[in-house]
Structure 1
């Protein structure tokens, strides 16, 4: 019986590490998407702003969507411990009950 409990604990730690790693990978990929979106928007920014101020609705919509997308990517990185709860837990620590 003790062997089964030990085996279960080992798999629990392994599964926690995998979930933690996946959370970090997903948050890192979203941060990279935000950075790439920023780099892609930067050369078009002056034209989009002037077109939006001139009354072009499509330019204003594109500018808004890009800025919101960048903000979401950056905020999810800053608050990744709240969005992905596994990164804030250390799987090597034993749970105390």
Structure 2
């Protein structure tokens, strides 16, 4: 019966590592989306800013949405340990005794 418990503990550790890897991958993917969005926004930024200053609602909305999307992507990377539960734990806690 003790071998069954060890087998189950080993699978729990493996599953926790897989979940941790998936959460790291997802947070990295969202970071890349934020980077790509900021790179795509750079060439359009002067036109959007001048359009916003002159009162173009569509330019202001586009600028706001792009900046908010970039901010969300960057903040989720900065605070990924608070958002993704598996990233809160250290790898030493996942090892069976």
TM-score (norm 1): 0.92
- Which structure has the highest helix share of the two? 2
How many equivalent residue pairs? Answer: 96
Superposition RMSD on alpha carbons, in Å? 1.5
Moved over 2 A (4+): 90-96
Cα distance, 1:90 vs. partner?
2.6
> 5+ residue gaps in structure 2?
none
Report the 3-state secondary structure (helix = DSSP H, G, I; strand = E; otherwise coil) of the residue aligned with 2:31. Answer: helix
Structure 1: 5+ residue runs without aligned partners?
none
TM alignment of 1:2-81, pairs within 5 A: 2-81=2-81
Separation of aligned partners in 2, 1:95 and 1:53: 60
Tell me how far apart the structure 2 counterparts of residues 9 and 49 of structure 1 sit (CA, whole Å): 56
